[in-house]
Structure 1
Protein backbone atom coordinates (compact mmCIF):
# COMPACT_ATOMS: atom_id res chain seq x y z
CA UNK A 1 0.00 0.00 0.00
CA UNK A 2 1.17 3.53 -0.71
CA UNK A 3 2.63 5.49 2.17
CA UNK A 4 1.38 8.91 1.02
CA UNK A 5 -1.47 10.37 -1.01
CA UNK A 6 -1.55 14.01 -2.11
CA UNK A 7 -4.99 15.38 -2.91
CA UNK A 8 -6.01 18.40 -4.93
CA UNK A 9 -8.72 20.51 -3.25
CA UNK A 10 -11.01 22.20 -5.79
CA UNK A 11 -13.04 19.77 -7.85
CA UNK A 12 -11.47 16.82 -6.00
CA UNK A 13 -12.23 17.14 -2.28
CA UNK A 14 -14.31 20.30 -2.25
CA UNK A 15 -17.33 20.87 -4.49
CA UNK A 16 -16.22 24.32 -5.50
CA UNK A 17 -19.23 24.91 -7.69
CA UNK A 18 -21.40 25.07 -4.53
CA UNK A 19 -19.87 28.45 -3.70
CA UNK A 20 -18.22 29.36 -7.01
CA UNK A 21 -21.14 30.98 -8.76
CA UNK A 22 -22.29 32.67 -5.57
CA UNK A 23 -18.86 34.15 -4.83
CA UNK A 24 -18.21 35.10 -8.44
CA UNK A 25 -21.61 36.82 -8.61
CA UNK A 26 -20.77 38.69 -5.42
CA UNK A 27 -17.47 39.80 -6.94
CA UNK A 28 -18.80 40.97 -10.28
CA UNK A 29 -21.73 42.69 -8.59
CA UNK A 30 -19.09 44.56 -6.61
CA UNK A 31 -17.25 45.44 -9.83
CA UNK A 32 -20.49 46.70 -11.37
CA UNK A 33 -21.10 48.89 -8.32
CA UNK A 34 -17.67 50.43 -9.00
CA UNK A 35 -18.50 50.89 -12.71
CA UNK A 36 -15.69 48.50 -13.61
CA UNK A 37 -17.93 45.84 -15.21
CA UNK A 38 -21.17 46.06 -17.18
CA UNK A 39 -21.83 42.54 -18.44
CA UNK A 40 -23.11 39.32 -16.88
CA UNK A 41 -20.91 37.32 -14.53
CA UNK A 42 -18.58 35.16 -16.72
CA UNK A 43 -19.25 31.93 -14.84
CA UNK A 44 -18.98 29.69 -17.92
CA UNK A 45 -15.63 31.19 -18.85
CA UNK A 46 -14.37 30.61 -15.32
CA UNK A 47 -15.46 26.98 -15.37
CA UNK A 48 -13.25 26.39 -18.41
CA UNK A 49 -10.14 27.55 -16.56
CA UNK A 50 -11.06 26.20 -13.14
CA UNK A 51 -7.99 25.00 -11.28
CA UNK A 52 -5.42 27.47 -12.61
CA UNK A 53 -3.76 29.92 -10.18
CA UNK A 54 -5.94 32.95 -9.45
CA UNK A 55 -3.59 35.48 -11.11
CA UNK A 56 -4.23 33.61 -14.38
CA UNK A 57 -7.96 33.64 -13.67
CA UNK A 58 -8.14 37.42 -13.49
CA UNK A 59 -5.86 37.87 -16.50
CA UNK A 60 -8.38 35.78 -18.43
CA UNK A 61 -11.61 37.21 -17.01
CA UNK A 62 -10.41 40.81 -16.79
CA UNK A 63 -7.98 41.17 -19.72
CA UNK A 64 -8.60 44.92 -20.13
CA UNK A 65 -8.32 45.82 -16.45
CA UNK A 66 -5.23 47.12 -14.71
CA UNK A 67 -3.08 44.92 -12.52
CA UNK A 68 -4.27 46.92 -9.50
CA UNK A 69 -7.90 46.24 -10.39
CA UNK A 70 -7.15 42.54 -10.76
CA UNK A 71 -5.38 42.41 -7.39
CA UNK A 72 -8.29 44.16 -5.68
CA UNK A 73 -10.78 41.86 -7.40
CA UNK A 74 -8.74 38.85 -6.33
CA UNK A 75 -8.78 40.01 -2.71
CA UNK A 76 -12.53 40.65 -2.75
CA UNK A 77 -13.23 37.27 -4.37
CA UNK A 78 -11.17 35.54 -1.68
CA UNK A 79 -13.15 37.34 1.03
CA UNK A 80 -16.43 36.16 -0.47
CA UNK A 81 -15.21 32.58 -0.89
CA UNK A 82 -14.04 32.38 2.71
CA UNK A 83 -17.23 33.94 4.05
CA UNK A 84 -19.41 31.56 2.03
CA UNK A 85 -17.39 28.58 3.29
CA UNK A 86 -17.68 29.73 6.90
CA UNK A 87 -21.42 30.18 6.37
CA UNK A 88 -21.73 26.51 5.42
CA UNK A 89 -22.70 27.14 1.82
CA UNK A 90 -20.09 24.77 0.38
CA UNK A 91 -19.78 20.98 0.44
CA UNK A 92 -17.21 18.22 0.27
CA UNK A 93 -17.56 15.52 -2.37
CA UNK A 94 -19.18 12.29 -1.18
CA UNK A 95 -17.00 9.91 0.84
CA UNK A 96 -14.09 12.31 1.49
CA UNK A 97 -14.03 11.63 5.22
CA UNK A 98 -14.58 7.89 4.75
CA UNK A 99 -11.54 7.73 2.46
CA UNK A 100 -9.44 9.87 4.79
CA UNK A 101 -10.38 7.71 7.75
CA UNK A 102 -9.41 4.54 5.89
CA UNK A 103 -6.06 5.94 4.74
CA UNK A 104 -5.21 7.21 8.21
CA UNK A 105 -6.12 3.89 9.83
CA UNK A 106 -3.79 2.15 7.38
CA UNK A 107 -0.83 4.43 8.11
CA UNK A 108 -1.03 6.35 4.85
CA UNK A 109 -0.10 10.03 5.18
CA UNK A 110 -2.53 12.50 3.61
CA UNK A 111 -1.57 15.86 2.12
CA UNK A 112 -3.41 18.55 0.21
CA UNK A 113 -1.70 20.45 -2.61
CA UNK A 114 -3.85 23.11 -4.19
CA UNK A 115 -3.75 26.06 -6.56
CA UNK A 116 -6.06 27.75 -4.05
CA UNK A 117 -4.85 30.54 -1.79
CA UNK A 118 -3.78 29.85 1.78
CA UNK A 119 -6.68 31.58 3.56
CA UNK A 120 -9.21 29.86 1.31
CA UNK A 121 -7.72 26.44 2.01
CA UNK A 122 -7.55 27.14 5.75
CA UNK A 123 -11.26 28.00 5.73
CA UNK A 124 -12.18 24.67 4.12
CA UNK A 125 -9.86 22.58 6.28
CA UNK A 126 -11.07 24.29 9.47
CA UNK A 127 -14.80 24.21 8.66
CA UNK A 128 -14.77 20.51 7.73
CA UNK A 129 -12.12 19.60 10.35
CA UNK A 130 -9.93 17.92 7.74
CA UNK A 131 -6.78 18.52 9.75
CA UNK A 132 -7.84 15.57 11.90
CA UNK A 133 -6.60 13.39 9.02
CA UNK A 134 -4.46 15.68 6.84
CA UNK A 135 -0.78 15.96 7.75
CA UNK A 136 -0.35 19.34 6.05
CA UNK A 137 -2.08 21.52 3.47
CA UNK A 138 0.02 23.29 0.85
CA UNK A 139 -0.97 26.29 -1.27
CA UNK A 140 0.47 27.33 -4.61
CA UNK A 141 1.28 30.62 -2.86
CA UNK A 142 4.17 28.81 -1.20
CA UNK A 143 5.88 28.23 -4.55
CA UNK A 144 7.42 31.11 -6.50
CA UNK A 145 6.90 29.37 -9.85
CA UNK A 146 3.16 28.84 -9.20
CA UNK A 147 3.69 25.39 -10.69
CA UNK A 148 1.79 22.41 -9.22
CA UNK A 149 4.64 20.01 -10.02
CA UNK A 150 7.03 22.17 -7.99
CA UNK A 151 4.53 22.31 -5.13
CA UNK A 152 4.25 18.51 -5.02
CA UNK A 153 8.04 18.24 -5.22
CA UNK A 154 8.32 20.46 -2.14
CA UNK A 155 6.02 18.08 -0.23
CA UNK A 156 8.06 15.07 -1.30
CA UNK A 157 11.27 16.77 -0.21
CA UNK A 158 9.93 17.97 3.14
CA UNK A 159 8.45 14.60 4.15
CA UNK A 160 10.88 12.25 2.41
CA UNK A 161 8.13 10.60 0.37
CA UNK A 162 9.38 7.64 -1.65
CA UNK A 163 6.09 6.31 -3.01
CA UNK A 164 2.67 7.83 -3.33
CA UNK A 165 -0.08 9.16 -5.57
CA UNK A 166 -1.54 12.50 -6.58
CA UNK A 167 -5.34 12.58 -6.75
CA UNK A 168 -6.87 15.40 -8.76
CA UNK A 169 -9.23 16.40 -11.53
CA UNK A 170 -7.08 18.51 -13.84
CA UNK A 171 -3.99 18.11 -16.01
CA UNK A 172 -1.87 20.10 -13.54
CA UNK A 173 -2.50 17.37 -10.95
CA UNK A 174 -1.69 14.59 -13.39
CA UNK A 175 1.49 16.35 -14.51
CA UNK A 176 2.46 16.93 -10.88
CA UNK A 177 2.31 13.17 -10.31
CA UNK A 178 4.16 12.26 -13.50
CA UNK A 179 6.88 14.88 -13.00
CA UNK A 180 7.56 13.49 -9.52
CA UNK A 181 7.34 9.75 -10.31
CA UNK A 182 4.07 9.30 -8.41
CA UNK A 183 0.89 7.54 -9.46
CA UNK A 184 -1.56 9.89 -11.21
CA UNK A 185 -5.18 9.26 -10.18
CA UNK A 186 -7.66 11.38 -12.11
CA UNK A 187 -11.08 12.30 -10.72
CA UNK A 188 -13.86 12.37 -13.27
CA UNK A 189 -15.83 15.02 -11.40
CA UNK A 190 -17.45 18.35 -12.25
CA UNK A 191 -14.55 20.26 -13.77
CA UNK A 192 -12.65 17.32 -15.26
CA UNK A 193 -11.95 17.10 -18.97
CA UNK A 194 -11.76 13.81 -20.84
CA UNK A 195 -8.71 14.83 -22.85
CA UNK A 196 -6.80 15.65 -19.65
CA UNK A 197 -7.90 12.55 -17.74
CA UNK A 198 -6.57 10.40 -20.59
CA UNK A 199 -3.06 11.06 -19.24
CA UNK A 200 -3.85 9.68 -15.77
CA UNK A 201 -2.72 6.21 -14.69
CA UNK A 202 -6.12 5.55 -13.10
CA UNK A 203 -9.46 7.38 -13.31
CA UNK A 204 -12.17 7.24 -10.64
CA UNK A 205 -15.78 8.40 -10.73
CA UNK A 206 -16.13 8.44 -6.94
CA UNK A 207 -13.50 8.82 -4.22
CA UNK A 208 -14.78 5.66 -2.54
CA UNK A 209 -13.04 3.70 -5.31
CA UNK A 210 -9.73 4.64 -3.69
CA UNK A 211 -10.45 2.14 -0.91
CA UNK A 212 -9.86 -0.70 -3.34
CA UNK A 213 -7.26 1.03 -5.52
CA UNK A 214 -4.79 2.36 -2.95
CA UNK A 215 -4.08 -1.02 -1.24
CA UNK A 216 -3.06 -2.49 -4.58
CA UNK A 217 -0.52 0.23 -5.33
CA UNK A 218 3.04 0.00 -4.08
Structure 2
Protein backbone atom coordinates (compact mmCIF):
# COMPACT_ATOMS: atom_id res chain seq x y z
CA UNK A 1 0.00 0.00 0.00
CA UNK A 2 1.51 3.35 -1.02
CA UNK A 3 2.12 6.05 1.52
CA UNK A 4 0.94 9.62 0.96
CA UNK A 5 2.46 12.72 2.49
CA UNK A 6 0.59 16.02 2.43
CA UNK A 7 2.80 19.04 3.08
CA UNK A 8 1.93 22.53 4.17
CA UNK A 9 3.75 25.24 2.19
CA UNK A 10 4.44 28.35 4.30
CA UNK A 11 6.78 27.69 7.19
CA UNK A 12 7.12 24.03 6.17
CA UNK A 13 8.50 23.84 2.63
CA UNK A 14 8.93 27.52 1.84
CA UNK A 15 10.81 29.99 4.04
CA UNK A 16 8.09 32.60 3.89
CA UNK A 17 10.02 34.73 6.37
CA UNK A 18 12.48 35.74 3.64
CA UNK A 19 9.84 37.58 1.63
CA UNK A 20 7.14 38.18 4.24
CA UNK A 21 8.42 41.37 5.83
CA UNK A 22 9.57 42.77 2.50
CA UNK A 23 6.19 42.16 0.83
CA UNK A 24 4.21 43.36 3.84
CA UNK A 25 6.26 46.56 4.03
CA UNK A 26 5.60 47.17 0.34
CA UNK A 27 1.89 46.67 0.92
CA UNK A 28 1.65 49.01 3.91
CA UNK A 29 3.76 51.61 2.10
CA UNK A 30 1.10 51.51 -0.59
CA UNK A 31 -1.62 51.87 2.06
CA UNK A 32 0.27 54.84 3.51
CA UNK A 33 0.45 56.42 0.05
CA UNK A 34 -3.35 56.30 0.03
CA UNK A 35 -3.41 58.04 3.44
CA UNK A 36 -5.10 55.00 4.96
CA UNK A 37 -2.37 53.92 7.38
CA UNK A 38 -0.13 55.57 9.94
CA UNK A 39 2.59 53.93 11.99
CA UNK A 40 4.74 50.86 11.58
CA UNK A 41 3.98 47.78 9.52
CA UNK A 42 2.28 45.19 11.84
CA UNK A 43 4.75 42.42 11.05
CA UNK A 44 4.65 40.95 14.58
CA UNK A 45 0.87 40.65 14.44
CA UNK A 46 1.15 38.82 11.14
CA UNK A 47 3.73 36.43 12.56
CA UNK A 48 1.29 35.50 15.32
CA UNK A 49 -1.43 34.53 12.85
CA UNK A 50 0.75 32.94 10.15
CA UNK A 51 -1.05 30.00 8.62
CA UNK A 52 -4.59 31.39 8.56
CA UNK A 53 -6.26 32.17 5.21
CA UNK A 54 -5.46 35.63 3.81
CA UNK A 55 -9.00 37.01 4.17
CA UNK A 56 -8.71 36.43 7.93
CA UNK A 57 -5.25 37.97 7.89
CA UNK A 58 -6.59 41.26 6.60
CA UNK A 59 -9.51 41.23 9.02
CA UNK A 60 -6.91 41.07 11.78
CA UNK A 61 -4.38 43.54 10.36
CA UNK A 62 -6.99 46.04 9.19
CA UNK A 63 -9.87 45.70 11.68
CA UNK A 64 -11.10 49.26 11.10
CA UNK A 65 -10.88 49.26 7.32
CA UNK A 66 -13.58 48.46 4.79
CA UNK A 67 -13.80 45.15 2.99
CA UNK A 68 -12.91 47.01 -0.19
CA UNK A 69 -9.65 48.22 1.38
CA UNK A 70 -8.88 44.72 2.65
CA UNK A 71 -9.45 43.23 -0.79
CA UNK A 72 -7.23 45.89 -2.34
CA UNK A 73 -4.42 45.14 0.12
CA UNK A 74 -4.87 41.40 -0.31
CA UNK A 75 -4.44 41.74 -4.08
CA UNK A 76 -1.46 44.08 -3.75
CA UNK A 77 0.24 41.84 -1.17
CA UNK A 78 -0.23 38.78 -3.37
CA UNK A 79 1.31 40.65 -6.29
CA UNK A 80 4.33 41.66 -4.22
CA UNK A 81 4.80 38.12 -2.86
CA UNK A 82 4.78 36.64 -6.36
CA UNK A 83 7.19 39.25 -7.70
CA UNK A 84 9.60 38.61 -4.84
CA UNK A 85 9.39 34.85 -5.43
CA UNK A 86 10.10 35.27 -9.14
CA UNK A 87 13.03 37.55 -8.30
CA UNK A 88 14.57 34.76 -6.22
CA UNK A 89 14.23 36.50 -2.87
CA UNK A 90 12.59 33.51 -1.16
CA UNK A 91 13.98 30.06 -0.40
CA UNK A 92 12.91 26.52 0.31
CA UNK A 93 13.78 25.04 3.68
CA UNK A 94 16.94 22.92 3.73
CA UNK A 95 16.70 19.44 2.20
CA UNK A 96 13.27 19.84 0.54
CA UNK A 97 14.54 18.55 -2.80
CA UNK A 98 16.54 15.74 -1.19
CA UNK A 99 13.59 14.57 0.88
CA UNK A 100 11.15 14.80 -2.03
CA UNK A 101 13.50 12.78 -4.24
CA UNK A 102 13.83 10.16 -1.52
CA UNK A 103 10.08 9.92 -1.02
CA UNK A 104 9.49 9.43 -4.74
CA UNK A 105 12.16 6.72 -4.83
CA UNK A 106 10.20 4.97 -2.08
CA UNK A 107 7.01 5.26 -4.16
CA UNK A 108 5.37 7.75 -1.84
CA UNK A 109 2.84 10.23 -3.19
CA UNK A 110 3.46 13.89 -2.38
CA UNK A 111 0.80 16.61 -2.18
CA UNK A 112 0.73 20.20 -1.00
CA UNK A 113 -2.21 21.61 0.98
CA UNK A 114 -1.89 25.26 1.84
CA UNK A 115 -3.86 28.21 3.15
CA UNK A 116 -2.03 30.24 0.53
CA UNK A 117 -3.76 31.46 -2.61
CA UNK A 118 -3.50 29.52 -5.86
CA UNK A 119 -1.40 32.04 -7.80
CA UNK A 120 1.06 32.33 -4.92
CA UNK A 121 1.45 28.57 -4.59
CA UNK A 122 1.91 28.14 -8.32
CA UNK A 123 4.66 30.78 -8.27
CA UNK A 124 6.60 28.77 -5.67
CA UNK A 125 6.00 25.40 -7.33
CA UNK A 126 7.03 26.74 -10.73
CA UNK A 127 10.07 28.68 -9.56
CA UNK A 128 11.51 25.72 -7.63
CA UNK A 129 10.24 23.07 -10.07
CA UNK A 130 8.47 21.16 -7.30
CA UNK A 131 6.01 19.64 -9.75
CA UNK A 132 8.61 17.02 -10.67
CA UNK A 133 7.80 15.41 -7.30
CA UNK A 134 4.42 16.84 -6.23
CA UNK A 135 1.33 15.10 -7.61
CA UNK A 136 -0.94 18.11 -7.04
CA UNK A 137 -0.99 21.37 -5.11
CA UNK A 138 -4.20 22.39 -3.35
CA UNK A 139 -5.12 25.90 -2.20
CA UNK A 140 -7.62 26.92 0.45
CA UNK A 141 -9.29 28.89 -2.37
CA UNK A 142 -10.64 25.59 -3.68
CA UNK A 143 -13.07 25.12 -0.78
CA UNK A 144 -15.77 27.36 0.59
CA UNK A 145 -15.16 26.68 4.28
CA UNK A 146 -11.53 27.95 4.28
CA UNK A 147 -10.84 25.07 6.68
CA UNK A 148 -7.58 23.15 6.32
CA UNK A 149 -9.20 19.91 7.49
CA UNK A 150 -11.73 20.16 4.65
CA UNK A 151 -8.94 20.86 2.18
CA UNK A 152 -7.04 17.75 3.25
CA UNK A 153 -10.28 15.78 3.08
CA UNK A 154 -10.57 16.84 -0.56
CA UNK A 155 -7.15 15.34 -1.26
CA UNK A 156 -7.92 12.17 0.69
CA UNK A 157 -11.14 11.59 -1.24
CA UNK A 158 -9.75 12.47 -4.67
CA UNK A 159 -6.75 10.19 -4.36
CA UNK A 160 -8.35 7.59 -2.08
CA UNK A 161 -5.66 7.96 0.55
CA UNK A 162 -5.84 5.44 3.38
CA UNK A 163 -2.34 5.70 4.80
CA UNK A 164 -0.20 8.75 5.23
CA UNK A 165 0.67 11.91 7.13
CA UNK A 166 0.20 15.66 7.09
CA UNK A 167 3.45 17.58 7.58
CA UNK A 168 3.11 21.16 8.77
CA UNK A 169 4.10 23.75 11.33
CA UNK A 170 0.78 25.00 12.71
CA UNK A 171 -2.26 23.70 14.54
CA UNK A 172 -4.41 23.77 11.40
CA UNK A 173 -2.07 21.19 9.86
CA UNK A 174 -2.14 19.00 12.95
CA UNK A 175 -5.92 19.16 13.16
CA UNK A 176 -6.22 18.43 9.44
CA UNK A 177 -4.24 15.24 9.93
CA UNK A 178 -6.22 14.04 12.92
CA UNK A 179 -9.59 14.95 11.40
CA UNK A 180 -8.71 12.77 8.41
CA UNK A 181 -7.19 9.85 10.36
CA UNK A 182 -3.67 10.61 9.19
CA UNK A 183 -0.45 10.97 11.18
CA UNK A 184 0.24 14.54 12.30
CA UNK A 185 3.89 15.51 11.89
CA UNK A 186 4.68 18.91 13.35
CA UNK A 187 7.58 20.98 12.02
CA UNK A 188 9.46 22.92 14.68
CA UNK A 189 10.42 25.69 12.27
CA UNK A 190 10.18 29.48 12.19
CA UNK A 191 6.47 30.04 12.84
CA UNK A 192 5.81 26.96 15.01
CA UNK A 193 4.42 27.25 18.53
CA UNK A 194 5.23 24.77 21.27
CA UNK A 195 1.65 24.55 22.53
CA UNK A 196 0.48 23.61 19.04
CA UNK A 197 3.31 21.16 18.33
CA UNK A 198 2.49 19.36 21.58
CA UNK A 199 -0.67 18.08 19.87
CA UNK A 200 1.20 16.47 16.95
CA UNK A 201 1.92 12.73 16.81
CA UNK A 202 5.53 13.39 15.86
CA UNK A 203 7.71 16.50 15.77
CA UNK A 204 10.71 17.17 13.54
CA UNK A 205 13.37 19.87 13.61
CA UNK A 206 14.58 19.14 10.07
CA UNK A 207 12.83 17.67 7.04
CA UNK A 208 15.61 15.09 6.75
CA UNK A 209 14.11 13.34 9.78
CA UNK A 210 11.24 12.20 7.56
CA UNK A 211 13.58 9.71 5.90
CA UNK A 212 14.09 7.86 9.18
CA UNK A 213 10.38 8.05 10.05
CA UNK A 214 9.19 6.58 6.78
CA UNK A 215 9.39 2.87 7.74
CA UNK A 216 7.24 3.47 10.82
CA UNK A 217 4.71 5.52 8.89
CA UNK A 218 4.29 2.62 6.50
CA UNK A 219 3.35 0.18 9.25
- TM-score, normalization: structure 2? 0.98
Q: Secondary structure at the match of 1:207?
A: coil
Query: 2:208 aligns to what?
Result: 208
Paired residues for 1:1-218 under 5 Å: 3-218=3-218
1:6-44 Cα shifts (integer Å, max 9, x gaps): 000000000000000000000000000010101110000
SS in structure 2 of the partner of residue 10 of structure 1: coil
Return the alpha-carbon distance in structure 2 between the equivalents of residues 199 and 193 of structure 1. Answer: 11
CA distance in 1, matches of 2:162, 2:202: 19
Give the CA RMSD over aligned residues.
0.8
Cα distance in 2, alignment partners of residues 59 and 214 from structure 1: 39
SS at match of 1:131: helix
Q: How far apart, CA to CA, are the structure 1 residues paired with 2:217 and 2:127?
A: 31
Rounded Cα–Cα distance in structure 2 between residues aligned with 1:43 and 1:146: 23
**Secondary structure at 2:208 match in 1:** helix
* Preserved CA contact (<8 Å) 1:2 1:214: no
CA distance in 1, matches of 2:13, 2:74: 22
Stretch moving more, 183-192 or 1-10: 1-10
The DSSP-based 3-state class of the residue aligned with 1:154 is: helix
Q: Partner of 2:80: helix, strand, or coil?
A: helix
**4+ residue runs of structure 1 moved beyond 4 angstroms?**
none
Aligned counterparts of 2:217 and 2:191: Cα–Cα separation in 1: 26
For structure 1, the 5+ residue unaligned runs are none
Q: Distance in 2 between matches of 1:142 and 1:71?
A: 18
Deviations 1:60-89 (CA, angstroms, capped at 9, x unpaired) = 000000000000100000000000000000
Answer whether contact 2:150 2:176 (CA < 8 A) is retained.
Answer: yes
Contact kept in structure 2, 1:113 and 1:151, CA below 8 Å: yes
Deviation at residue 2 of structure 1 after TM alignment? 5.7
Pairs aligned (count): 218
Q: TM-score, normalised by structure 1?
A: 0.99
